[in-house]
Amino acid sequence: MKLDDEVPGILSRVLTAAPARRQAILAALAAYEVKAGVFDVSEDLIPMSFAEVVRHGRVADILRMTFGDVPEGLPGLLERIGERPLDRRADYLAIFQMLARNDVRAADALRGAGRITRRKLEVLSSLDPRWHHTHTLERLDTGAEATTFNAAVEFVQSVCSRASDETVAEAIAQMRPTSTLPRLLDRFIRRADRLPVNPVPVGDNDLRPLSTTRDLLEAGLRYRNCISHRLSEVAAGKLAIAEYQTQLLVEFRPLSLGAAWMFRDVHGPRNGPVALALIAEVEAKCDALGIPRITEAGGGDGWKSYRRFTGELEWG
């Protein structure tokens, strides 16, 4: 409004201009008003003739008057903002700075993601530069979600040697329209090869540790259960699985402070019931291996005999 007082017609020009010129004017005003902390824009760099440039100048003239050297691609990105202004002045300066430092990956991600919004700029600023791509920009909704994705990829890379920066970036680039980022990460988890050591030693004839993702996936198919969806727990050391006499799966959980593992539960095919006699065998095997378990208080051996004799079952 102050500029319109100086050169009448500026307000009308802004309201009726095409998106490219309108956003160039708004970017210029953002740079004019945000003078500290982002980049140096002094009164000398924006003289009084600035109002006349805004009123009569072309897009290139307006941007050159404001920024001096105009990075390649700035007018095109500003046009992608559309008719409405961005919510914050700093968003316009963020776009300028991104191009000024020649951040090609970020610029390409914005160009391919449709209309530029504050949300997309927040996601871009929070996302690890290695994962800057149109496909991530379109699938992440907030900066907090982008930060979570960064940490999730870091975890995947810690347990899967194949998940190099180049491989993850290529997988993102090749995503199909129906693909999701959780599915992409899950594919790497299914190839994890840095699993924690299983608490069951190798070589036992009765209790066999499932120490690889291949072992776990094959067991999930044979027992028809959800073990394939718990691979991340195994990779994180929050769960370990062994197989007892090809009849049932034995679940172990870590004790606090990483001191050891504890026998937790048994699971039959389709998570069906497991006979108490078979559970007792597993308990005896864990006792022999020095793996602790929770002992139910009271009842004694007589109670266990009663349960076996009456044929009662516990569910795995």
Tens digits of residue pLDDT in 261-274: 999 999 999 988 88
Q: How confident is the model at residue 315 (pLDDT cuts 50, 70, 90)?
A: very low
Residue 166 and residue 258 in contact, taking contact as beta carbons nearer than 8 Å:
no
Which residues are CB-neighbours of 44 under 8 A, at least 6 positions away?
none
Q: pLDDT tens digit string along 127-167? A: 999 999 999 999 999 999 999 999 999 999 999 999 999 99
Q: Look at residue 37 in the predicted model and tell me its pLDDT.
A: 36
Query: Helix 89-100 to helix 104-111 angle, to the nearest 10 degrees?
Result: 130
Break the chain into its structural domains and give their ranges: 1-102, 129-193, 207-315
C-alpha separations of 113 from 25, 85, 102, 182, 312 in Å: 23, 17, 19, 19, 60
pTM (predicted TM-score): 0.82
Q: Look at residue 34 in the predicted model and tell me its pLDDT.
A: 66
Biggest CA–CA distance in the chain, Å, is 99
**Residue 312 DSSP code:** -
Share of the chain above pLDDT 70, in %: 88
Mean pLDDT of the chain: 87
Query: Looking at the chain, which runs of residues are DSSP E strands?
Result: 207-209, 240-244, 248-254, 261-267, 273-275, 313-315
Residue 316 burial class via C-beta count within 10 angstroms: exposed 0-12, middle 13-18, buried 19 and up: buried
Pick the CATH number of 207-315 from 2.30.30, 3.40.630, 2.60.40, 1.10.150: 3.40.630
Residue 68 burial class via C-beta count within 10 angstroms: exposed 0-12, middle 13-18, buried 19 and up: exposed
Q: Look at residue 263 in the predicted model and tell me its pLDDT.
A: 95
Q: pLDDT tens digit string along 79-115? A: 999 989 898 888 999 999 999 999 999 999 999 999 9
Sheet with 240-244: list strands edge to edge. 207-209, 240-244, 248-254, 261-267
Q: Look at residue 299 in the predicted model and tell me its pLDDT.
A: 52
Q: pLDDT tens digit string along 165-214? A: 999 999 999 999 999 999 999 999 999 999 999 999 998 889 999 999 99
In the predicted model, is pLDDT for residue 39 greater than 50?
no
Q: What is the mean pLDDT of residues 223-240?
A: 94
Q: How confident is the model at residue 302 (pLDDT cuts 50, 70, 90)?
A: low
Residue 223 and residue 210 in contact, taking contact as beta carbons nearer than 8 Å:
no
Q: Look at residue 236 in the predicted model and tell me its pLDDT.
A: 94
Tokens of 144: 């907090």
In the predicted model, is pLDDT for residue 36 greater than 80?
no
